[in-house]
Amino acid sequence: MSDLTYAKINLDNLTENYGTIKRMTGDCRVICVVKADAYGHGVIPVVRRLRNLGASFFAVANLSEALQVRAATRRADILILGYTDPRCADILVENIITQAIISKSYATKLASAAMSTREQKPVLGHLALNCGMNRVGIDCTDRGVNEASAVLALPGLRINGIFSHLSCADTPNSEYTDKQIAAYNKTVEAIEAKCGKFAINHLCNSAALMQLPCQNQDAVRAGIMLYGLKSTPDTPPLTKPVMELWSTVTHIAHVCKGQPISYGAAFVTERPSRIATVAVGYADGFRRAYAGDVIIPSAGGARAPIVGRICMDMLMIDVTDIPGVTVGTDVMLFGSSGITADDVAARADTIGYEVVTGISKRVPRVYN
């Protein structure tokens, strides 16, 4: 192909991952989280594949993402987990998009905006509770129960779901997670006693699904598990990586001992070396902090170390001990075997989410 750097997206692995999650969750509805361009994998192809597999509910971060999903499927449910300007109430209604109701004041403004439209149709909503994340949501307190009851009575809203988020679900045996679950369940029970049962109740994300399978409620929000990366630091993923990042050797240099490589002269050769330049850099989302080994598949999966600082558009690798590397040789920076996005993340003391969502738009996605 003409692109020197590209991300391979294995939709067959996505298919297998969705099947794994369905088997784990039984009768629970799976809400497929496709925010951030499906975690960098490309939202339209991902949604279309998941719809073909029977997925019928998607979650995103904002209105623009919701409209992308709606363009890919006219029939599925879509939940915006973040904030939408109340002035966009008509867009939510027209596109049958469900909005997270994150506070009483927000609910009042959104309901008022909905009733001010020509058709005066209510906005669909899921009530967000704050059970300890302290990010958004109505507090899990007696006051919060009263606020929720008032929100549910607003004529401009039709709220059929309730949810919250666990802040330490990726920590095994977390006492704080237990406290959050107890607070959430108690608050949901109190609200339902006053206002009736919600049609859908969801608390668990991917990490909670791994650690707390008994807390699946009516639905689970499957995010990073869909894409085959770790949701908990110390537990191998049960699903397969969907993204691989590839690039190409564009230059071979024979460098004498004692010569610096790349910016800052931070690396100096300790022997006569063959240095290959690869057409990928931090502008592609492969950050300077990701320096480590890459894989040369044509050399039996041999690993070559990145030497010198990663540049904006290029990086250099030492192929002195790897015969056969020439201009045009393929290089895998991470993938489904050998070096994963989680491995790259560990080099920068971060998480795989940041690696895959950070692969830039100039890197084309190539689908199997």
Cα distances from 160 to residues 28, 128, 192, 258, 265, in angstroms, run 16, 12, 11, 68, 60
Residue of 35, 106, 240, 353 with catalytic role = 35
CB 234 within 8 A of CB 280: no
Closest C-alpha to 123, from 157, 160, 96, 152? 157
115, with CB counted inside 10 A (0-12, 13-18, 19+), is: middle
Name the active-site residue from 194, 197, 257, 263. Answer: 263
For the chain, the distance separating the N- and C-terminal CA atoms, rounded to the nearest angstrom, is 14
Phi, then psi, of 94 in degrees rounded to 5: -60, -35
Q: Which residues pair with 273 in a beta bridge?
A: 255
Tokens of 109: 């403004």
| C-beta separation of 366 from 1 below 8 A | yes
Our answer to whether residue 263 is catalytic in this structure is yes
322 and 300 in contact (C-beta within 8 Å)? no
Question: Does 35 participate in catalysis according to the annotation?
Answer: yes
- Provide the annotated active-site residues: 35, 263
